[in-house]
Amino acid sequence: MLFTADGDTEGRGTTTPGGRLVFHVFAAVVEFIREPIVQGTDEGLDVARAAAPDSAARRR
């Protein structure tokens, strides 16, 4: 797997140890930030369902 930005001619990607490190750091940050986003979304949906029990949000 190789990732590059437009104009990247130095061959950086997941084939080098540094590239794999950067990839894993980004993946860890994304995984870390995902949980509060999911929690906030679930809380918002719960509030919407409680506010309008016969609305389209309830039918999902």
DSSP string, 36-59: HHHHHHHHHHHHHHHH-TTSHHHH
Compute CA distances 41 → 14, 37, 45, 55, whole Å: 33, 6, 6, 17
Q: What does the pLDDT average to over 32-45?
A: 93
In which residue are the tokens 């509030």 written?
47
- Cα(1)–Cα(13) distance, rounded to whole angstroms? 8
pTM over 0.85: no
Long-range contacts of 38-46 (CB under 8 A, 24+ apart): none
At 53 the pLDDT is 65
